Each structure stands twice: as structure tokens, then as C-alpha cells.
Amino acid sequence: MDYYVVNGGKRLNGTIRISGAKNAAVGILPAAILFSGKCYIDNLPDIEDVRRVIEIMKEMGASIEYITSNSILIDTTNVKDMDIVSPSVRKMRASYYFAGAMLGKYSHACVMLPGGCEIGERPIDQHIYGFEALGAKVKIEGNILKVEAEKLTGANIRLKCPSVGATINIMLAAVCAEGQTIIRNAAREPHVVDVANFLNAMGARVKGAGTDTIRITVPLSKHSSEKVCRYSLIPDQIEAGTFMIAAAAAGGEVIIRNIIPTHLKVIADAIMNTGAYVEFLDDGNEFFAKITASMYPASTMITTEPYPGFPTDLQQPMMAYLTLAKGKSMIIENIYENRFNHVPQLEKMGAKIKINDRIALVEGTDKLKGADLEASDLRAGAALIIAALMADGESRISNIHYIDRGYEKIDEKLRSLGADIKRVEIKD
């Protein structure tokens, strides 16, 4: 199993580009099977989760050609109606989007329940509630989700919580239902909007994505007159936020390109509350963020919320940064009940953190020391990289397969900014 070696204390200077959004990609790719024709998809992140979804789609009979490492041409003409139960399904969370897509396309689906990061129970009751509202019968046999519908009929669906996964999964089925569907208390994350825009590019009519009420007014089948659908994914909000935090944590001046400033405002505000400086600029071609920071931040308070609140996926990287913030910082994790698994690793480096249920109290210390660290999940891995960049001496970070799931070439991007990080490959 490969690991990273990081020698900390180096300031970061230079420019990097953000890749396409992972959590949009893993919804958009399964959605492509709803389109009878070819889909050209650009700004696709070259990450493990995308490669796994593509693997599953090829097993289903889709022909997928890489035009570049970040763009593909999908032809779903020969996609077969089959059970999605291959071992690769367990390795990620988003495999459940095949349930919504297959239900939409074939009126039934049989999908192995997802795996993904161990950050909480991660139920799918709202997905099931939405499928049933559309007229499907749902049962779980062992770790297999089975969904069956005579006919899908549009419905009024009010989610108990703004679940990203449920919002996207219900959209994938509802675009093939007869009649209008309204999803209330819908998730508003940028990747939800991106999936809705992709469905519209395929000929559906999905309105209101990005607000708490999404209306699907016309089913896909009546509209997909196009034979080639072209779509470019939005930049990854969480990758951009991770690099903004890394730049503030290591100190220096970093330019981050290929971003959407609106998606990053809450992160910029949090970073500026610690004394670092974030500007959003436009060179006439594209927006970019400029982060300038000295090393020692001021303490602050972070509360994770659904979008447009502070994203739960950046709670862990932000905590790593705040371990050196003067004074006491408080982090409240409102989304997941078990998203502090990175804390023992930070404590190995000298961090002072007290956990009480969903609240972390971080007492700033004057330095972190390099250590042997183990990533427990995707964003915990990113947090450990940030801590290692700030630490005195050498750190080794293992279990970096978690990081490979969601960050494209993160070590190369950091090295281009002056970080001393290298990947040590271990032949299994």
C-alpha cells in the first residue's frame, strides 16, 4: 500500500488548477445511461471513484472512450439491464445512483448497497421514500437494494433532511416518470445543480436545482431528440476548499484557478476569520482565488451545515489547520455522527483536541511534529496532509487509497506549489 512522505514547514507559492467535481461526476455518469445516444463529458476528475463508476458502466455494456484523461465519450446504446452487484460497488458510496438511473430506465433496479467513508451510519431511507413516492416497491435483501415499479408516476416529495444523495437519486428516477415531480427540502449543493443541468442537457426539464424545491416538469423520454449530449462538469468545491485551507495553513501566496467563487464564499469567510486573506479575482478568462497567509492563524468557530453552509467535507481539513491557531477553536459537526476519526492522528503530532459528541474543542499549540499517520477516510486523509505540511519534520501518511478516491494528483499539485511531498509506491 503506497504512502506519502511529507517534510513540513515549507511555505506554498504558485498556481494550481482545480479538477472537476467528484460528487457531480459520480451522479452524472450513471445518469448518462438514461440518454439514448452518445454523451461527451469534459472536466471529469481523474480519480478512483470516477474510474470505479466507469468500470461498472463498462460491465453494463456502455462503451466509454477516453478522449483525454479528463474527458470521455460514452455510448450507452448497448447498455444491458443487469444487477449492479460487482465487488467495485462496495468500494464507494455513490454506486447507489445506479438504483435511480436503472429504475428510471428499466422500471426496476438491483444494486448492492454502497460502501464509502466510515463517517456515520449513512442511511438511505430518504432515497427509498422517494422511490416509493414515485410508485416503486423497495426491499433490501441482505446488502442488495431491490426496486421495482409497474410505472413511475410524478409525485410531491418532501425530504426529512436535505440529503444530497436522495435528491440526486430521486431526480434520476423522476425524469422518467409520467407527470410532474416536486422535491421539497431538496439539497442545494453545487453538485446537485450540476446533475440537474446534465439531465436538462439530455433533454429533461428540471427546474429549481440549487433551491430547496426542485420541479421536474417533463419526462426525459419526450425530449431526448438530441443524439449527442455534451457536458462539462463544474469545478470541485471541496478540492478548491482543501487547497485554500492548505495555502492558509502552510503560509505563502497561492493562486487557485478553475473555481466558482459563489461555491467558496463560506470557506473564504472561515479562512479570513483566522487572519489569512482570500481574494476572488477575474482575469477576463476565468475566476481565480488568491490566498495569502502568514503561518499562525487566529482561532475561530466552525459549524458544518448543508450548502450554502460550511461543508462537512472540509471540517477535517479545517480542524488540521486550527491545531496551530492561537486560542481555542470550536468545531460543531452537524451532518455526521462520526466524522472525527482523524483526531487521534492529529494528537500523535501534538495537537490538543477535546471531543464531546459532535463538538470538537481545538486548543492551539505552538507546533506540530511529524509522525507516522494513517488516513481513516477521504477527507481525513486530506486533513493529515495539511497537518504534515504545517509540522516540523517528516510525516508518513498511509492508507492513501482513500485520498486517491477524491483528489486528482494532490501530491503533484502540492509539489508544484513548493511542498515537499512524495508518494512512495509499494508493490503489493
Taking the least distance from each CB to ligand EPZ, the nearer of 241 and 251 is 241
8 Å CB contact between 18 and 59: no
Distance of alpha carbon 29 from alpha carbon 42, whole angstroms: 11
Does 359 engage in binding with ligand EPZ (CB under 6 A)? no
For the CB of residue 22, give the shortest distance to ligand EPZ in the complex, in Å.
6
Q: With CB under 6 A as the rule, give the number of residues binding ligand EPZ.
A: 28
- Is 117 an annotated catalytic residue? yes
Piece of the chain touching ligand EPZ by CB under 6 A; list 102-110, 115-123, 263-271, 413-421: 115-123
Interacting residue with ligand EPZ among 335, 375, 380, 387 (CB under 6 A):
335
Distance of alpha carbon 254 from alpha carbon 245, whole angstroms: 11
Distance of alpha carbon 119 from alpha carbon 339, whole angstroms: 5
Interacting residue with ligand EPZ among 107, 163, 197, 329 (CB under 6 A):
163
Active-site option among 117, 161, 176, 229: 117
Residue 369 C-alpha cell reads as 511534529
CA angle, residues 271, 276, 278, in degrees to nearest 5? 75
Does 269 engage in binding with ligand EPZ (CB under 6 A)? no
Interacting residue with ligand EPZ among 1, 65, 77, 125 (CB under 6 A):
125
Q: How far is CA 113 from the centre of its chain?
A: 18
Piece of the chain touching ligand EPZ by CB under 6 A; list 21-29, 78-86, 103-111, 217-225: 21-29
Does 252 engage in binding with ligand EPZ (CB under 6 A)? no
The identity of residue 56, as a single letter, is I
Taking the least distance from each CB to ligand EPZ, the nearer of 99 and 421 is 99
According to CB under 6 A, which residues from 41 to 60 bind ligand EPZ?
none
Distance of alpha carbon 237 from alpha carbon 357, whole angstroms: 27
Taking the least distance from each CB to ligand EPZ, the nearer of 121 and 428 is 121
Distance of alpha carbon 129 from alpha carbon 97, whole angstroms: 15
Does 126 engage in binding with ligand EPZ (CB under 6 A)? yes
Does 23 engage in binding with ligand EPZ (CB under 6 A)? yes
Interacting residue with ligand EPZ among 1, 82, 120, 296 (CB under 6 A):
120
Distance of alpha carbon 370 from alpha carbon 346, whole angstroms: 10
8 Å CB contact between 17 and 259: no
The identity of residue 376, as a single letter, is S
According to CB under 6 A, which residues from 294 to 313 bind ligand EPZ?
312-313
For the CB of residue 285, give the shortest distance to ligand EPZ in the complex, in Å.
28
Does 105 engage in binding with ligand EPZ (CB under 6 A)? no
- Please give the residue whose beta carbon sits closest to ligand EPZ in the complex: 165
Residue 78 C-alpha cell reads as 448497448
Bond prior to 123 in cis (omega within 30° of 0): no
Piece of the chain touching ligand EPZ by CB under 6 A; list 22-30, 74-82, 220-228, 368-376: 22-30
CA angle, residues 93, 98, 100, in degrees to nearest 5? 110
Does 117 engage in binding with ligand EPZ (CB under 6 A)? yes
8 Å CB contact between 131 and 138: yes
Does 378 engage in binding with ligand EPZ (CB under 6 A)? yes
Q: At what angle do helices 164-174 and 125-133 cross, to 10 degrees?
A: 20
**Dihedral over alpha carbons 236, 241, 244, 250 (to 10 degrees):** -110
Sign of CA dihedral 338, 342, 345, 347: negative
Does 381 engage in binding with ligand EPZ (CB under 6 A)? no
User: Which residues here bind ligand EPZ, judged by CB under 6 A?
Assistant: 22-23, 26, 93-94, 117, 120-127, 161, 163-166, 187, 189, 312-313, 335-336, 378-379, 406
Active site (catalytic) residues: 117
